[in-house]
């Protein structure tokens, strides 16, 4: 289990103002946060678990969640944004995670829209969900899974997944990482709230964007096509140059983007 005293000491170093609930096991931290929200919790708060029995990622994909090695947590917040702008918090969260991993000596980068990668392999996934209350207001659940001290992976994900320990060659203190990310979420989200978009984070985000200037395939329901990822716009959507030189805005909730020469 995480050492809660150590975690609280680390949280005092930053801007996170909410409490943290530490659980031994849960179906998923996003599901637990939804239950808390329905029971009247408004946040900010975070739920972390040593093990998830039904963790999932974007588009309902399962997230492998063995106990005691990694970080699985969800932050519940009342966003200071209109509901249609809440998806901008996903790239802001990815940037917060990337900062913490890089501060720990890991050369992490962002794979648009919601993954953090090391050397092209996934180390972190982010799932942001909008929650509506009965009065028409909204909350947001930002679920994050980070492979920290895991060494072995199932055969089906071994080629596309990695961990901080595998890349850094040592174990990492999970309490420090969790506190760093929660404090980073508070900072990055306040930046978005103040600007009303991602303009204050865009330059740093693009510097860390693994997809940038890479050949990608856009998997659009209307038909897939190939292009070159250029960066993001102020709302966090991916800008992709088509072969004819025109630029297309790719929306995260509508299509998928994959690298032609590997995971990113």
**The model's pTM:** 0.93
Q: Which of 40, 47, 46 lies closest to 134, judged by CA?
A: 40
pLDDT at 201 over 70: yes
55 band by pLDDT with thresholds 50, 70 and 90: low
Dist CA 49 CA 68 (whole Å) = 9
Dist CA 17 CA 187 (whole Å) = 11
Which residue in the block uniquely carries the two structure tokens 């932050």? Answer: 75
pLDDT at residue 63, as a whole number? 55
Q: Which of 232, 201, 228 lies closest to 216, judged by CA?
A: 228
Could you tell me the domains of the chain? 4-206 (3.30.930.10), 212-259 (2.30.30.100)
Dist CA 80 CA 140 (whole Å) = 10
Mean pLDDT score of the chain: 93
Which residue in the block uniquely carries the two structure tokens 């989200």? Answer: 189
Tell me the per-residue pLDDT of 125-182, one tens digit each, with 9 for 90 and over: 999 999 997 777 899 999 999 999 999 999 999 999 999 999 999 999 999 999 999 9
């Amino acid at each position: 289990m995480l050492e809660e005293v150590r975690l609280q000491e680390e949280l005092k170093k930053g801007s996170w103002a909410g409490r943290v609930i530490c659980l031994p096991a849960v179906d998923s931290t996003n599901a637990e946060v939804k239950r808390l929200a329905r029971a009247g919790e408004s946040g900010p708060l975070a739920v972390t678990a040593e093990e998830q029995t039904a963790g999932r990622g974007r588009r309902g994909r399962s997230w492998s969640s063995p106990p005691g090695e990694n970080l699985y947590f969800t932050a519940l917040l009342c966003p200071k944004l209109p509901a249609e702008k809440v998806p901008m918090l996903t790239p802001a969260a990815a940037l917060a995670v990337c900062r913490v991993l890089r501060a720990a000596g890991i050369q992490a980068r962002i794979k648009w829209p919601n993954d953090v990668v090391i050397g092209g392999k996934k180390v972190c996934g982010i799932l942001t969900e909008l929650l509506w209350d009965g009065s028409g207001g909204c909350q947001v659940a930002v679920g994050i899974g980070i492979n920290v001290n895991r060494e072995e992976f199932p055969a089906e994900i071994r080629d596309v997944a990695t961990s901080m320990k595998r890349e850094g060659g040592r174990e990492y203190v999970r309490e420090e990482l969790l506190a760093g990310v929660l404090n980073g979420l508070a900072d990055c989200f306040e930046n978005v709230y103040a600007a009303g978009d991602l303009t204050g984070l865009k330059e740093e985000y693009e510097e860390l964007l693994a997809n940038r200037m890479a050949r990608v395939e856009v998997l659009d329901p209307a038909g897939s096509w190939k292009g070159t990822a250029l960066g993001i716009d102020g709302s966090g959507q991916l800008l992709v140059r088509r072969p004819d030189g025109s630029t297309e805005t790719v929306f995260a909730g509508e299509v998928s983007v994959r690298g032609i020469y590997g995971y990113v």
